[in-house]
């Protein structure tokens, strides 16, 4: 279970923690595809302790139509963000902006005493991650990074199995996560916005290796590649990585923006193996294939809403004054690995990582289950796989 901690003293001018028993009022900042397809509709299934109180965007059409669609009382442009933070009308923000904006919008929320649930990757550099965590701690506000799989049954069950010893000593992790990003204007393909395959989907593979091995890598190696395609003028098409963990365990993965959609990972131990496929999706059933002693069994985990659980959990952390897992430290550790992988790909050599501090790992107590949602109406937003 996530660690319980005493709340930091409230800084001058910062709002006190909300009273228990009431709902946390959220502003969703950024109304792109992930916000519309998953975050906004999730509030209906998180109504126990969370409510959608405001929308922030510079697109007036999105603001008008989505506010009506979801019954949201307050809308704001990005220029009005600070006024919204100071208004007393919200308790927390869900930041669903391009990666390079996570730092700025988190710092501004923290300085206003507003709690932060930020999409992953946490930021584009480890230094930015440290600044985000430091400011939130200084201001006495909660910071959680939106690792939805830390609350999802199939991945939590995988971690429990691997660490039960039933597979023996887990020696090997291997993962593949691929998709076609067909829109050349998509932010995932823009270097200045913090795009790139490692930041966007490679982070899932990195995070899974870390919570399955329950440890941090000591050195990494990576190679990137791109085919002659205008989509990949600024960022890599794909990346393959190798990470060495304590105990001479090896984790490898390949992530691509230019291959057919798929996600899987496999953990091989001295007594058996676990394959999860699909592994990382939020709109499909996930599946385990476990082989121990020559016997194989399968288990299907029906798809559910993976975003409402984050809202429910983070709201509980605010109301009950608990330190969230995944914390800012969890986000920082992934970003430091991503930076090291890019450095390795550039120089063509192994990159060693300094020893990492202790971090909480997800466990089965964090599981929150909600049924799947119907596909919502989108307003001027499209999936990465859609052509521009």
Instruction: Give the span between the Cα atoms of 122 and 106, in whole angstroms.
Output: 10
- Which residues, 6 or more positions from 20, have their beta carbon under 8 angstroms from its beta carbon? 319, 320
- Which residues, 6 or more positions from 175, have their beta carbon under 8 angstroms from its beta carbon? 204, 205, 208, 209, 251, 252, 253, 254, 263, 264, 265, 266, 279
DSSP 8-state symbol, 73: S
DSSP 270-306: SSEEEEESS-S-SSS-EEEEEEETTEEEEEEE----S
Instruction: Give the span between the Cα atoms of 162 and 217, in whole angstroms.
Output: 17
* HSE toward the beta carbon, residue 141, CA cutoff 13 A: 28
The question of whether 120 is a catalytic residue gets the answer yes
The question of whether 280 is a catalytic residue gets the answer no
CB contact at 8 A, 26 and 310: no
Using DSSP, state whether 219 is helix, strand or coil: strand
Instruction: Give the span between the Cα atoms of 47 and 41, in whole angstroms.
Output: 11
Using DSSP, state whether 95 is helix, strand or coil: strand
Query: Which residue in the list 62, 94, 120, 265 is annotated as catalytic?
Result: 120
Q: State the pairing for strand pair 170-180/143-145.
A: unpaired
Query: Which residue in the list 199, 204, 265, 342 is annotated as catalytic?
Result: 204
Instruction: Give the span between the Cα atoms of 6 and 23, in whole angstroms.
Output: 21
Q: State the pairing for strand pair 92-95/115-118.
A: parallel
Residue 214, sorted as left (phi over 0), alpha (psi -120 to 50) or beta, turns out to be left
Is 358 exposed, middle or buried, given 0-12, 13-18 or 19+ CB atoms closer than 10 A?
A: exposed
Query: Dihedral (C-alpha) 186, 187, 189, 195: value to the nearest 10 degrees?
Result: -160
Residues acting as catalytic residues: 120, 204
């Amino acid at each position: 279970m996530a660690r319980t901690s005493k709340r930091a003293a409230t800084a001058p001018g910062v709002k006190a923690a909300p009273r228990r028993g009431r709902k946390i009022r959220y502003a969703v900042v950024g109304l792109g595809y992930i916000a519309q397809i998953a975050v906004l509709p999730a509030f209906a299934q998180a109504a126990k302790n969370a409510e959608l109180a405001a929308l922030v965007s510079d697109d007036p059409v999105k603001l008008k139509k989505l506010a009506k669609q979801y019954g949201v009382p307050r809308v704001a442009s990005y220029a009005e963000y600070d006024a919204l933070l100071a208004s007393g009308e919200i308790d927390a923000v869900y930041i669903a902006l391009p990666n390079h904006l996570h730092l700025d919008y988190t710092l501004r929320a923290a300085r206003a005493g507003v709690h932060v649930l930020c999409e992953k990757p946490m930021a584009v550099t480890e230094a930015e991650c440290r600044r985000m965590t430091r400011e939130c701690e200084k201001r006495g506000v909660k910071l959680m990074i939106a690792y939805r799989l830390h609350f999802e049954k199939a991945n939590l069950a995988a971690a429990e199995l691997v660490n039960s010893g039933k597979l023996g000593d887990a020696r090997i992790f291997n993962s593949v996560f691929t998709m076609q990003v067909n829109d050349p204007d998509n932010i995932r393909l823009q270097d200045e916005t913090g795009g790139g395959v490692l930041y966007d989907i490679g982070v899932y593979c990195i995070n899974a290796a870390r919570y399955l091995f329950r440890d941090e890598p000591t050195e990494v190696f990576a190679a990137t590649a791109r085919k002659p395609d205008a989509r990949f003028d600024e960022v890599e098409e794909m990346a393959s990585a190798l990470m060495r963990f304590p105990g001479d365990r090896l984790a490898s993965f390949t992530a691509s923006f230019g291959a057919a959609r798929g996600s899987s990972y496999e953990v091989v131990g001295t007594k058996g193996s676990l394959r999860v496929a699909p592994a990382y999706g939020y709109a499909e059933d996930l599946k385990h294939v476990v082989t121990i002693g020559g016997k194989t069994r399968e288990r299907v985990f029906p798809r559910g809403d993976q975003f409402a659980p984050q809202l429910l959990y983070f709201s509980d952390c605010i109301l009950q004054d608990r330190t969230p897992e995944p914390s800012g430290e969890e986000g920082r550790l992934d970003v430091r690995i991503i930076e090291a992988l890019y450095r390795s790909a550039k120089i063509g050599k192994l990159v060693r990582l300094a020893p990492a501090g202790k971090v909480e790992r997800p466990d089965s107590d964090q599981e929150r289950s909600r049924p799947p949602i119907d596909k919502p109406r989108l307003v001027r937003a499209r999936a990465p796989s859609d052509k521009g």
